[in-house]
Homo-oligomer: A and B are copies of this chain.
Amino acid sequence: MKIALAQQNYHIGNFELNTKKILDGIDRALTAGAELVVFSELCVCGYPPRDFLEFNDFIAKCDEAIEAIKQKTGKIGVIVGCPVRNSRKEGKDLFNAGMLLYKKEISGTAYKTLLPTYDVFDEYRYFEPSYTWNVIEFGGKKIALTVCEDLWNLSDNPLYRSTPMEQLIRQKPDLMINISASPFDYDHDDDRKEVLRANVQRYKLPLIYCNTVGSQTEIVFDGGSLVFDAKGNIMHEMKYFEEDFVMIDTNISSAEVVQNSKITLEDLQHLDKEMRVAKVKDPEKIIDYLTDENNIKQIYKALVLGIKDYFGKMGFSKAIIGSSGGVDSAVTLALACKALGNENVRAILMPSQYSSGHSVSDAEQLSKNLQNPYDIIAIKDIYDSFLKELSPLFKDMPFGVAEENIQSRTRGNLLMAIANKFGYILLNTSNKSELATGYGTLYGDMAGGLGVLGDVYKMQVFALAKYINRDKEIIPQHIIVKPPSAELRPNQKDTDSLPDYAILDKILFQYIEKRQGPKELIAMGFDPAVVARILKLVNTNEYKRNQFCPIIRVSSKAFGVGRRMPIVGKYLS
């Protein structure tokens, strides 16, 4: 059978755009002679639709899209993902369905059984799990159609008590098709391939896996759709971080093998049900892992796509960035120029009396290298006007965090004023190490519409800077080598307030990504006092992160929708 896979970038709730993309994909598949074309999970409405699903009107729009798509299915089978009403009174109102449309009818449906609710997922909030399982017949073949997570229950320690393929295999299918919306993170990018291959090996069936691509606010979907033969060999691997379209022929089993299979079920044991087991257990090797060149390269691509799609889907084209002469803003600026075009990214340099001379010269050189527009606005006079008005209250109290924050918030106010005046979105430059420890000023350097580096540890920011400079010096070397500083008081250094980033980032990774508590961290060899200090910083700063903008997610546990902590909680704090 000739099958087309359409790996597309949808826009949540934009039914006009999504329907057009799907119809275009059908046309292309028809032209290429496909008998069947496969799209991804919830493609008609975009994934994740979240609480839009609670509106009858939204579901009616999904139904209308299906009607429009049906009309194109006279001569081709079309597999799409769509929310579908639960016709029974009991249970949640909706199913998350995979649907075969053919001859202008719905000729088969498969409801998702395993509804993820960990990390960024909330599917059980909206959907009833399936409780009946049937293969779908098409072109003389029996297809075991499943939706995303339904294939992810294979480990020794499964998250769910049932596995839909164990039901479907009894009906002797010829082929597995899985439609997905599976997000990228550098920590699990290989797992997907392993899990899919393990399904092929267990059920001894070819597998067609169609994933979505594109970024939706904070979640980056990386595509990389896959076709396996029944032996677990990869016959096709689609592009990562961009749309793609391929034709395959299930009858040609001698097709070129892209990757041979060596994975066995035992290799999946690191896939603990909660994904909390670190692949790298030796603390000495964590930084190497975090800054591994392949990981950094993928993070780079994900961040560029994340910026590009955020602007495109919000209907904006131009960004503004506070450029401090430090490595975080330099990397953010370079990423934004790549995503939006250098002419669309405006840097604002805002030195204070505490800024070192090189801060401005380094930032100027950076914008000259990137060829993006920049302006310089000194903040001293504004800062002094704040101090003057506050002097009846502050009297002769010593300089402290209040004065530091006034400077940072003055910069935030200037950036937002320019953004409001000219129609920019402010990109935030805070990194994950800072956000974790609360080393930032609410409404100051924590302002912005999108957090570009909020899921990237400081040591990874340095590695990104090196990666950006791989062919020529874009980020001036001095920006990379000088000691990090907020420059809000004389001779300030980050290390005045925080442990060395090489230590800090290891502990943060184990605590945040891997949910290792104080005992586990101390058992790994970390200093108990440093562990206690860092965990307390993380836990007492939830209130700050709670007001932070969306962060492009590249790790297995980003701050934001996927990490839900009680703000008034008193634990390790």
**Using a CB–CB distance below 8 Å, which chain A residues touch chain B?**
11-14, 17, 46, 48-52, 54-58, 61, 89-93, 117-118, 122, 124-125, 128, 131, 156-161, 216-217, 273-274, 276, 309-310, 313-314, 375, 377-379, 381-382, 384-386, 388-390, 392-394, 397, 400-403, 405-406, 409-410, 412-414, 416-418, 420-421, 442-443, 447, 449, 515, 517-520, 543, 546-550, 561, 563-573
Contact = CB atoms under 8 A, between A and B. Distances in A.
Nearest to A379: B389
19 contacts: A12-B569, A13-B569, A14-B569, A46-B566, A51-B564, A54-B515, A58-B571, A89-B156, A118-B125, A379-B389, A381-B385, A381-B388, A382-B389, A390-B418, A393-B418, A409-B443, A413-B413, A416-B442, A416-B443
Nearest to A52: B571
A563 B51 CA distance: 7
A509 B547 CA distance: 25
A568 B418 contact: no
Nearest to A413: B409
Contacts of A443: 409, 412-413, 416, 443, 447
A385 B125 CA distance: 50
> How many chain copies?
2
Nearest to A403: B417
A417 B405 contact: yes
Given A56-B515, A394-B421, 7 more contacts: A46-B566, A89-B158, A92-B273, A382-B382, A402-B420, A406-B413, A409-B409
Given A566-B48, A566-B52, A161 B386 contact: no
A277 B547 CA distance: 32
A570 B12 contact: yes
A310 B567 CA distance: 9
A377 B561 CA distance: 38
A528 B379 CA distance: 48
A564 B560 CA distance: 12
Contacts of A412: 409, 443
A382 B382 CA distance: 6
Contacts of A572: 57
A157 B90 CA distance: 6
B570 A13 contact: yes
A378 B389 contact: yes
A69 to B, nearest CB: 19
A50 B566 contact: yes
A565 B409 contact: no
A217 B566 contact: yes
Nearest to A126: B117
A400 B421 contact: yes
A514 to B, nearest CB: 10
B406 A417 contact: yes
Contacts of A447: 442-443
A518 B571 contact: no
Contacts of A519: 57
Nearest to A412: B443
A421 B397 contact: yes
A568 B314 contact: yes
Nearest to A418: B393
A93 B403 CA distance: 47
A261 B44 CA distance: 49
A390 B409 contact: no
Given A443-B409, A443-B416, A569-B13, A393 B381 contact: no
A413 B397 contact: no
Contacts of A561: 564
B405 A409 contact: no
A476 B156 CA distance: 68
Nearest to A442: B416
B55 A515 contact: yes
A57 B517 contact: yes
Contacts of A570: 11-14, 17, 313
A393 B413 contact: no
A216 B405 contact: no
A566 B122 CA distance: 12
A217 B568 CA distance: 5
A339 to B, nearest CB: 15
B90 A160 contact: yes
A569 to B, nearest CB: 4
A216 B417 contact: no
A390 B405 contact: no
